[in-house]
Structure formats: structure tokens, C-alpha cells
Amino acid sequence: MPAVTKLWRLLPHDRTAIEHLARQLGVSPIIAQLLLNRDIGKPEAAKRFLEASLAGMHPPASLPGVPEAVERLYRAVEQKKKICVYGDYDVDGTTGTAILVGLFQQLGSPVEFYVPHRLEEGYGVNSEALTQLAESGVKVVVTVDCGIASLAEADVAKKLGLELIVTDHHEMKATLPKAAVCVHPRLPGTNYPFGGLSGAGVAFKLAWALAVKHCGSEKVTPALRDYLLDALCLATLGLVADVVPLHDENRILVKHGLNRLNTKPPLGIKALIESAKLPADKLIKAEDIGYKLGPRINAAGRLGCARLVVEMFTTANPAKAREVADFLDNQNSQRQTIERKMTAQAKEMADAMMTEDLSGIVLAHAEWHPGVVGIVASRIVEYTGCPAVLFAIVPDAEVVTGSGRSIHGFELHEALNACDDVLAGHGGHAMAAGAKIRPLMIPVFRERFAQYAAEHFPTGVAPAPQVRIDAEVPLSSLTLGLLNDLNKLEPYGADNPKPRFLAGNLQIVGEPKKIGAGERHLSFKVKQGSTSMRAVAFGMGDRVVELMSDGGRCCLTFTPTINEWNGMRSVELMVDDFQTGPTATLG
């Protein structure tokens, strides 16, 4: 199957607005243009975005449910009640769990934690685990990154005499669980100014509020202040890995969390950084969390038990932390091997079923690992441009699990709602969701999902994916000074993507080289006028013939980056997409 054709969209360039904002802020025109491209056009909002001051955080007590949760939890601490923090198995859940476990340890409270086994128990709160916790003497259960849709489980907790405090950020059902308290940035009837916190972000704000309660003052003790800074590092991992929008207080948390992480990382994160072999002389950025640290944390939940991750983040033993970090590194390598095989199989299956009018894809395979189908679903979305749901068929299983990923403009959880009668269960949000199904119903679901997708899209087929371009630039303008200026927009992430530029009328010099494992990537040199630069195109090793089809003339969309080698620094192009020929076709 040929690569999906992407629509290149060059964002508007309003010179007057750019110059006005640049003058108001005292920044370069390129920074002003990038702010406008991100819908940050008012000087005060732009200043808040660039400064990302901790003073811009909303008070933790203003987060819906926090005051009531603090009162109940602090009473439990004073009465020495046994508390259990019940978290999800992904990065957001495990870091949020570690934040609250550590805070209760700081307060001298008896605390334990529970993280469900992904393959045996699945996502969220389950009644059997609650029963086991109650039998072990637990009196208070605090959820992290789950529970807001656990209506039946909340009823079970009540019958067991458990005081259930739900902290979550996921989509709610028509009614809330009958918990003692629900903490959620978007609770009905509330008006918290920012609804985009992740589960770890919510846990951090609850921990902050508990620390304030314990000290009886906004100014906490030095020990608790130091702990909250460590917790900020954990929240940063969760926020970045969960791909929540990096603006408002998410941006503030991540910016300051990265500062702390680069100067004084907590023991568990330090072990993880060392195991991932991140260069000690380079600052860790949000992309390092997304591509290096996050996948290692997630690997435990995908292939085994994520409980080890929380142990790594809460232990005071350096040897133990490093042992777990090395284990996670090994698990991640296994995950990558499994993922490559599954992706090749899924692409082959997609090729066999793809037609011009197919809008949604459902695939299933008996050799697939249930913990990795979500990643492979993402690869199939990239490959086909269609929303996709993949199932791992377990022999003799009455119900099997799957995971889906979507494209912008297609709300996946709504699509699953429309197919609710053929599924055994589902949950998630617009871009990612999980589902359970009886194997015999997969063909029915495949047809229904594709039909729903076709009816959703105006043309009956998924729209071409867009490449959003900030500006067209000559290669000669890509200087080290410009890239240093662009650092003002860090940290990058959801809703604040890395700047993407367009350069046209380029000539490839020499022959492109296939690089990396399996020769999956391309490295080549491009020239424009008297300026030459190296370009790297990840995942495009199979497009080398296409790249050279017009005598090496091409246009690139890319993100500029700084390469350091033997003490020398140079600008390189990280290619997002290319078109052949001297002039780009824009949509």
C-alpha cells in the first residue's frame, strides 16, 4: 500500500498582527507568528504562556472535590486508618499513584497501593480487588486516573464499608459514582478554569492541598516542599505521556517539573534516566519523556505488572530503583520486538482489505499481544489515515480485549457507543479507547464500525490527514540563533506542537542512505541556493524511490533541530513529510 497522501496546510500569515504582538511582548516576529498560530494572540495570554509562572497555577482547593477529599483523607490520617491508593497501570496512573503514596508516607500514615494487572484484570476499579482490600483491613480507597465511570464498583465499595474517594480526569457517564467524594476538573455544576489536567495532575493538586492542610499554612515545611517538588517531576511524566494539552497549568507544571528533573531528579526517575542512557550533558525535554522514559514505564503495564513502577518511584533504596529501571528497559526492548512483528502483520491485513471507500478499520489476530494492540492501532492509523480498532484473540477466551486509535474530527468513544450492543464493554475518549468483545461478534462490529465511520465523514471516507505548517522558510534562515529563540516555546506537546516549517525547491545531494534497525529511516542532504543541510526522515525508508523520482528535486515539511557531534553544533531537519518537485502543493 502506498503512503497515505497528506494535505499540506500553510497557516495564515498576518504581518500586521505578527508585528503588533512582537512589539507588545518584546519577542522576535517568528515567536509572535508561532503564538498566533496556536491561537494565543492577546498579549496578556501570550505573556502568561511564555512565562509559565508557578503563580499562574489555580489554587488546589478550587479543584472540584478537593476540599471535601482533603477533609476526609486528613481525618483518616489522624485516625491512622489504613489507606489504599488504587491507580491505573499506565504512566499517568502509576506516577499519580506514586505521588499520593509518597505524600501519605510523608504524613506518617499507613498506606498501600494497588495497580490492576492489565492482562488479567483490565482497566479501572474492579469489585474483586475492592473485596480483597476490604478483607485486608483497608478502610479508605483513593483512586488515581480511574473510577469516574465505575458506577457498579462504587456501589460494591459502599457495601463493603470502604470510604471511596475517586480522583480522575476521564469522561464521565450520565451519572456519577456513589463515592464519598469525586475529584475531577470537569465535574458537572462546577466551573474550574482548566479542564485538561491528567490523572497525575489531579493527584498532584490533591497532594499539594493535603500538604497545606497538614501545615495549616500555604507555606509548607521544607521537607514537604522538597517532596512536592519531587512529586512535580512525577506529575510531569504523567502529563506528557498522557498527551494532555500543554497549556494553562499543564504547561506550568511540565515546565517547572522539567527544571527540577534536570537539576535534582527523584531517585526512581534518576534510575530510569540512567537505564535509558539519556546523555548526562543534555537537558531532558518533554520529547524525551514521550519517546524514551514513558514507553519504558508503560512496558511494565503492557507486558507484566505495573506495580513495579510504583515501587521504583517510592523506594528509598538506590539499588532497588536501578534494578526495576533495568527490568523496565528489558521489558521495553521485548515490547518493541513484539510491536514490530504485530505492525507488519497488521499492515499486511490492512492492505488486503483497503478500498477507496473504507473509512474505519477493525483487525484481529490470534498471535497478537493484548498489551501492545493500542500502539499498533496507532501505527495503522498513521499507515491508512483511518480510525482503527485492533483485537488480540486469546484461544478459548469468551471475551477478548482490543484497543482503538482515531484521527482528529472522529470521536472514537462515540463510535463505540454507537456499536454498544455488539460489544461486551468499552471506554475511553475521542482519540483513544479500549473495547471488549466476544470473538464471534468481531465481523459484525467490523461492518458496523466502518458503516458508522462512513456516515460520520461528509464524503463517506476518512479525510486526508493534514500537515499543519507554521511558515515557509529559506534554509539560510535556520540558524542556531533562531533555534535558541524557539526554545521560548518549550515544552512542546499536545496543543503546542513543535514548530513545523516548509522549504521548497530543494535538491537532494548524493544518494539517500537507509539507516536504523531494519533500514526503516532515511538520511540525506538537501541544498537550496548556497545552503546545504542534513535531513532525517524517520519511518520513510520504504519511500526512497518516491523521494528520488523527480531527479531529487523536492519540498520538505520539517522541524529544525540542533545536532551535536564532537563538540560541533549544526542545524538538521527532522522531516515530517515530503513532496517531489520544486513547488509544494498546498491545501
Domain ranges of the chain: 7-34+470-580, 57-329, 354-456
Q: Give pLDDT, residue 427.
A: 80
Q: Give pLDDT, residue 364.
A: 97
* Residue 87: its H or E element: strand 83-87
Options 2.40.10.220, 3.90.1640.30, 3.10.129.10, 3.40.190.10; which CATH number does 57-329 get?
3.90.1640.30
Q: Are 288 and 235 in contact (CB under 8 A)?
A: no
Which has the closest alpha carbon to 127: 147, 104, 157?
157
CA distance 135 to 460: 54
Q: From the first residue on, what is the mean pLDDT of each consecutive set of 10 residues in the chain (587 residues)?
A: 81 95 94 96 95 95 98 97 96 97 97 91 90 98 96 97 97 94 97 96 98 96 97 98 93 98 97 95 94 94 88 97 96 93 95 81 95 94 94 92 93 94 88 92 96 87 89 95 93 94 97 91 97 95 95 98 88 97 94
Q: What is the DSSP string of 79-137?
A: TT--EEEEE-SSHHHHHHHHHHHHHHHHTT--EEEE---TTTT-SS--HHHHHHHHHTT
Q: Hey, what's the cell of 246?
A: 500543554
Q: Give pLDDT, residue 388.
A: 97
Options 2.40.50.460, 1.20.20.10, 3.20.20.60, 3.30.420.40; which CATH number does 7-34+470-580 get?
2.40.50.460
What is the C-alpha radius of gyration for the chain, rounded to an integer number of angstroms? 25
Q: Give pLDDT, residue 123.
A: 79
Q: What's phi and psi for 528, nearest 5 deg? A: -140, 110
Q: Hey, what's the cell of 413?
A: 468513544
pTM reported for the whole predicted model: 0.91
Q: Are 347 and 361 in contact (CB under 8 A)?
A: no
172-190 as b/e, with b when 16 or more CB fall inside 10 Å? Answer: eeeebbebbbbbbbbbeee
CA distance 274 to 371: 25
Options 3.10.310.30, 3.40.1830.10, 3.40.50.300, 3.40.47.10; which CATH number does 354-456 get?
3.10.310.30
Confirm whether 7-34+470-580 and 57-329 share one CATH topology: no
Cα 453 to chain centroid distance, Å, stands at 24
For the chain, how far is it from start to end, CA to CA, in angstroms? 23
Cα 513 to chain centroid distance, Å, stands at 31
